[in-house]
């Protein structure tokens, strides 16, 4: 079984401030982990993914995430928020064999204040 | 360019009408998925398919039906639309190893009046 918990349904930061979106996972097998971003009235776009290579994963738009097995976490960070980062962010976990590999979290809405 | 397409992007329709939401992908992916997303943002899997002529219901019960006659095409049909069906519907696909992630379409926002 696998699951994802995203702490905080809404996060608000000032422009230029650090962005930290939290994701904890549960998986009975070595996990594959993903962050997706969704802009208003759009589908989900892949930001980055961890597939058991380097534990620090760099993605698009200056985002990165670090896989910490001991903490079962895969938090998403960006050093300096930009107004265009305002969106919904979803963490997802995979790794199970079978037909439905990915389980999505409930999402975190990021607001960026000027 | 390989991609996944959903049409229409927006649809406003009256109660009782039959509707079909289209989803097509040009990546040759085996697996395809339909998610329902309400304003609270959470994604609910309603249907998935792991190949031609294979479909299964997802985690959230839905009155919609799907078909997979061709690899690239995975339409979703509502025989009689109701206001409770108002939502955003997202289609996604993945290769044989779905652990490498899903590719999502832009979604269809359905409003039933």
Residue partners of A50: CB distance under 8 A and separation at least 6: A31, A32, A33, A34, A57, A65, A67, A74
Residues of A in contact with B107 (CB under 8 A): 41-43
For position A52, what pLDDT does the model report? Answer: 76
Read off the pLDDT of residues A43-77 as tens digits, 9 standing for 90 and up: 899 999 998 778 899 999 999 999 999 999 999 99
> Across chain B, what does the average pLDDT equal?
92
**With an 8 Å Cβ cutoff, are B106 and A99 in contact?**
no
> Which residue of B11, B38, B41 to mutate against A (max A Cβ within 10 Å)?
B41
Cβ under 8 Å to B: A residues 29-88: 32, 34, 36, 38, 41-46, 49, 51, 88
Which candidate, A89, A37, A45, A43, places its Cα nearest to that of B105?
Answer: A43
**With an 8 Å Cβ cutoff, are A102 and B98 in contact?**
yes
Distance in angstroms (rounded) separating the CA atoms of residues B109 and B91: 12
DSSP at A18: P
Distance in angstroms (rounded) separating the CA atoms of residues A77 and A86: 14
Residue pair B8/B108 in contact (Cβ under 8 Å)? The answer is yes
DSSP at B73: B
Report, as an integer, the average pLDDT of B2-20.
94
CB pairs under 8 A between A and B: 65
Facing residue for B107 by CB, picked from A32, A36, A43: A43
Report, as an integer, the average pLDDT of A25-53.
88
For A112, the token pair is 């960026």
């Amino acid at each position: 079984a696998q699951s994802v918990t995203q702490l905080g349904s809404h996060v608000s930061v000032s422009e230029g401030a650090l962005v930290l979106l939290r994701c904890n996972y549960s998986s009975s097998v070595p996990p594959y982990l993903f962050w997706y971003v969704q802009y208003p009235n759009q589908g989900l776009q892949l930001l980055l993914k961890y597939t058991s290579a380097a534990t620090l994963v760099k993605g698009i738009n200056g985002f990165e995430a670090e896989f910490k097995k001991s903490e079962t976490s895969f938090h998403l960070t960006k050093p300096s928020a930009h107004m265009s980062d305002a969106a919904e962010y979803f963490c997802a976990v995979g790794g199970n064999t079978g037909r439905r590999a990915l389980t999505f979290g409930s999402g975190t809405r990021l607001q960026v204040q000027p | 360019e390989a991609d996944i397409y959903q049409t229409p992007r927006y649809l406003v329709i009256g109660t009782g009408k039959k509707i079909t939401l289209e989803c097509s992908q040009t990546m040759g992916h085996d697996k395809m998925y339909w998610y329902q997303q309400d304003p609270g943002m959470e994604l609910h899997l309603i249907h998935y398919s792991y190949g031609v002529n294979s479909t299964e219901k997802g985690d959230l019960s839905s009155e919609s039906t799907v078909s997979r006659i061709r690899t690239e095409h995975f339409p979703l049909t509502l025989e009689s639309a109701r206001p409770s069906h108002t939502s955003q519907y997202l289609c996604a696909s993945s290769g044989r190893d779905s652990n490498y992630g899903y590719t999502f379409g832009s979604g269809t926002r359905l409003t039933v009046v």
